[in-house]
């Protein structure tokens, strides 16, 4: 195919040719020209004989994706294309399909024009269609169409949302296609992306894990602190001592546990004569009133009533850090070597 020179006022910061010849004189695929961002330099109307295609994709939600193509010449709008994609499609797939539809329209209807221009705000799609050796099937079809396209065509990266009329119109129609009720537009099937499959597998496995965690007969001491699997993620945000990890399981150097494994004659606290369990150590034992004070103040600063529900402690990083310091400085749970 032939490539066009850039119209006046268009920059050329992206070069995709090893040849020293300018891209519009090269026999290879065209380069990508850049439309100025400044709205005071509006895109000039298409010259007679030139057909312009503006492409855009839009994601309304993870389940609603659409794209559009707006075609115009010097007389005004010529045609529009709007499509919706199957749920779970990506914005890259939408932009790629919009680019392909523009190429296909130029291939089928461009005979009455002497040149074409395609404007996209997705630089990744433009560069992938020109260069990437391994890419999606849609972009491979784009490249094949570019090779066989008889109509000399130039590609342009156009900045979005700066007032270029054709791009703004494509953006509006793409949003309309994404948000429209099911069945309004032709639905384009797409192959699930790797990121979508990864997210689906992750969310499904987390749900199964969480469902099992709710009904498990073991680990109930830990469940008091982390009633959902996701709530334990806060532990990755700070360094946690081994003493606190043991305390969270209830398998630690407290008499309630030591007595159960026959390492203590009593399950009571030697000072308070109450059951020395996790709750007693954290909130009530008078032996640790002084060392516990910063932990208590951190809880109260978050407007949480003392003693707090176990799960509330791990909703605030500042409380977790103060708890970790308290447990470490108390020395009460240190292992004796």
Judge contact between 127 and 156, C-beta under 8 A.
Answer: no
Residue 208 has pLDDT above 80, yes or no: yes
Which pLDDT belongs to residue 160? 80
**Mean pLDDT, to the nearest integer, of 134-162?**
83
pTM: 0.55
pLDDT tops 90 at residue 190:
no
**CATH topology assigned to domain 11-190:** Nucleotidyltransferase; domain 5 (3.30.420)
Per-residue confidence (pLDDT) for residue 248, from 0 to 100: 95
pLDDT at 103 over 90: yes
Name which of 333, 328, 325 is nearest 298 in CA terms.
Answer: 325
Vertex 333 angle, CA 277 and 249, to 5°: 55
Interval 245-260 mean pLDDT:
95
* DSSP E strands, 86-188: 115-120, 153-157, 187-188
pLDDT exceeding 90 applies to what percent of the chain? 52
| pLDDT for 15 | 38
What pLDDT was estimated at residue 5? 43
Q: Does 134 have pLDDT greater than 60? A: yes
Q: Is the pLDDT at 6 greater than 70, yes or no?
A: no
The token pair at 121 is 């705000």
Is the model's pLDDT at 115 over the cut of 70? yes
Mean pLDDT for 272-293 is 95
Query: Per residue in 21-64, pLDDT tens?
Result: 333 333 344 567 776 665 444 456 678 889 999 999 998 876 68
What is the mean pLDDT of the segment spanning 215-236?
A: 94
What pLDDT was estimated at residue 37?
A: 61
- Report the mean per-residue pLDDT for the chain: 83
Task: State residue 189's pLDDT score.
Answer: 61
pLDDT in tens, 53-99: 999 999 887 668 899 999 999 888 999 999 888 877 888 889 999 99
Q: What is the pLDDT of residue 95?
A: 92
Strand order in the sheet with 153-157: 11-14, 32-34, 153-157, 115-120, 50-61, 64-73, 76-85, 187-188
3-state secondary structure at position 290? helix
Domain map (residue ranges) of the chain: 11-190, 216-330
Q: Is the pLDDT of residue 215 over 60?
A: yes
Q: Which whole number is the average pLDDT over 328-337? A: 84
Band (pLDDT 50/70/90 cuts) for residue 181 is: low
Which residue did the predictor score with more confidence, 296 or 38? 296
Q: What is the arithmetic mean of pLDDT over 158-182? A: 84
């Amino acid at each position: 195919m032939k490539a066009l020179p850039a119209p006046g006022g268009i920059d050329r910061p992206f070069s995709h040719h090893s040849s020293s010849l300018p891209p519009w004189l090269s026999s290879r695929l065209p380069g990508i020209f850049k439309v100025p961002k400044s709205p005071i330099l509006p895109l000039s109307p298409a010259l007679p004989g030139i057909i312009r295609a503006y492409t855009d994709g839009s994601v309304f939600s993870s389940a609603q994706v659409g794209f559009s193509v707006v075609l115009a010449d010097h007389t005004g709008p010529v045609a529009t294309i709007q499509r919706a994609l199957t749920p779970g499609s990506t914005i890259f797939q939408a932009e790629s399909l919009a680019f392909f539809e523009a190429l296909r329209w130029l291939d089928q209807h461009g005979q009455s024009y002497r040149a074409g221009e395609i404007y996209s705000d997705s630089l990744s799609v433009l560069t992938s269609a020109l260069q990437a050796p391994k890419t999606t099937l849609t972009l491979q079809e784009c490249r094949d169409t570019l090779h066989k396209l008889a109509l000399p065509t130039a590609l342009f990266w156009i900045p979005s949302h700066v007032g270029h009329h054709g791009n703004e119109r494509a953006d509006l129609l793409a949003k309309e296609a994404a948000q429209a009720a099911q069945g309004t537009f032709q639905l384009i099937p797409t192959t699930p992306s790797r990121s979508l499959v990864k997210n689906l597998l992750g969310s499904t496995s987390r749900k199964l894990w969480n469902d099992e965690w709710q009904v498990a007969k073991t680990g109930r001491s830990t469940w008091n602190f982390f009633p959902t699997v996701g709530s334990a993620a806060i532990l990755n945000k700070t360094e946690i001592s081994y003493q606190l990890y043991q305390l969270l399981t209830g398998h630690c150097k407290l008499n309630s546990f030591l007595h159960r494994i026959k390492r203590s004659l009593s399950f009571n606290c030697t000072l308070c004569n109450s059951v020395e369990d996790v709750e007693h150590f954290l909130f009530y034992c008078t032996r640790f009133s002084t060392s516990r004070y910063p932990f208590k103040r951190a809880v109260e600063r978050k407007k949480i009533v003392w003693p707090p529900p176990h799960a509330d402690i791990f909703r605030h990083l500042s409380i977790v850090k103060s708890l970790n310091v308290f447990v470490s400085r108390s020395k009460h749970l240190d292992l004796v070597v």
